[in-house]
Structures are given as C-alpha cells and as structure tokens.
C-alpha cells in the first residue's frame, strides 16, 4: 500500500512525511491555498530521499508548461486534475495520474483514458479536495484495475484502514486529513501512514 501526501508546501512537512514513510509527495501547481512555486518545490524535492517520488498537480495547464515544471522540479508523475483531453495525457513524458470525480457516469469509461493511474476523489465544485468521503461501493461497479487506483476523498488516520480494506487500492491520497489549522501535522501524517500500511505490517 502506497501513501501519497498532497499539498506539501514546506521543507519541514516534506521531511516529516519522508521520515514517517511516505511514498509520494504532491506539489500543487495551480491556484490553491496549497499552491507552491516551481522553485520552492524544486528545492524541497532535491532534499528528499530517493525512496520518495514526487507528483505535480495541474489543472488544465498547457503541456509545455507542465513539461517545463516537471523538468525543473524533477517530477516523477504529472497529475491532471481538470478536464484535460486524452491527447494531453498522451503527449506527456512523465507518468500520468488522472483525477476523476466519484460519479457513476464519469467512471463508466475511465479505463479508456490514456494514463498510468486513476485518482478517484469525492466530487467538488472547486476541483480541489472536499475533505469528504464518497460511497466506496461505487467503485465495485466500475471494474477499475485496483493496481492503477489511487483513492482520495476525506481520508484521515481514523478511516484510512477501513478505506483500504473496502477498496483495496494501489495507493491512498491525503491532504487536509493530515493537517491541523491548515498546516501539515507531523503526528497526523505519521498516524495516517501507519494506519494505511497496517495490513502490510501485519503480514511481515
């Protein structure tokens, strides 16, 4: 079970997440209270251990701009969080995560989109995270390959273990669920990662 912590904006938060065992760190390169500049993200990324991969989150951005930022920061993944057509995803040189809202009609043809991973999130009017969960049983009807599924939407340390058991995704994605007063909380990140990886720890 991989864990992605999104919306990281500081060196302190990134290092705390890395020390807690995070697998993926997300940088938001679009208008948001968690937006970060490419220069700041590059500085943080340069000091992350090799075990932590980086994701750049974009909304309806030009491919050339995404490629430029990806090169500057050294991104491993580009996450498309808008209405990007398939041709945009196909043109990118990095691995692509495509976000979809958890709505039945939107998920019916998800598997036809040219990406490496699907991120399924609670529908939100502002494209960002809503901080609320959705009905996970909806995913049972879609036939989405669990090895390509990142589960998001209202996850936090107290429900992520239940979410993993119900959905069995490739990875879980969290942002506000590990924050206190809008800032990444080291103890919440540590607790979230521990709970998300609980089953794996018990197998060892």
DSSP 172-198: EEESGGGEETTEE-HHHHHHHHHHHTH
DSSP 74-112: T-SEEEE-S---HHHHHH-SSEEEEEEES-HHHHTTGGG
Partners of 120 in the beta sheet? 100, 151
CA–CA gap between residue 126 and residue 124 (Å, rounded) = 6
Helix locations, 74-185, DSSP H:
86-91, 104-107, 160-167
Active-site residue (options: 23, 121, 135, 185): 121
Is 121 designated active site? yes
Q: What angle do CA 53, 49, 117 make, to 5 degrees?
A: 10
Active-site residue (options: 6, 23, 115, 173): 6
Is 115 designated active site? no
CA–CA gap between residue 87 and residue 79 (Å, rounded) = 15
Q: Provide the token pair at 94.
A: 């990095």
CB of 67 closer than 8 Å to CB of 61: no
Q: CA 23: distance to chain centroid?
A: 10
Catalytically annotated residues: 6, 121
């Amino acid at each position: 079970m991989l864990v992605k912590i999104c919306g990281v904006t500081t060196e302190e938060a990134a290092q705390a997440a890395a020390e807690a065992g995070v697998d993926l760190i997300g940088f938001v390169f679009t208008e948001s209270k968690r937006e970060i500049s490419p220069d700041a993200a590059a500085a943080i990324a340069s000091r992350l251990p090799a075990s932590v991969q980086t994701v750049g989150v974009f909304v309806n951005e030009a491919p050339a701009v995404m490629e430029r930022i990806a090169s500057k920061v050294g991104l491993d993944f580009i996450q498309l969080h808008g209405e990007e057509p398939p041709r945009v995803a196909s043109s990118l040189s990095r691995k692509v995560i495509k976000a979809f809202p958890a709505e039945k009609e939107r998920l019916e043809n998800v598997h036809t989109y040219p990406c490496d991973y699907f991120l399924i999130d609670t529908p939100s009017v502002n494209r960002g995270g809503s901080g609320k969960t959705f009905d996970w049983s909806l995913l049972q009807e879609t036939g989405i390959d669990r090895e390509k599924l990142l589960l998001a939407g209202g996850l936090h340390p107290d429900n992520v273990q239940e979410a993993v058991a119900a959905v069995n995704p490739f990875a879980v994605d969290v942002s506000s669920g590990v924050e206190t007063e809008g800032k990444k909380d080291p103890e919440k990140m540590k607790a979230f990662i521990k709970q998300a990886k609980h089953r794996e720890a018990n197998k060892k």
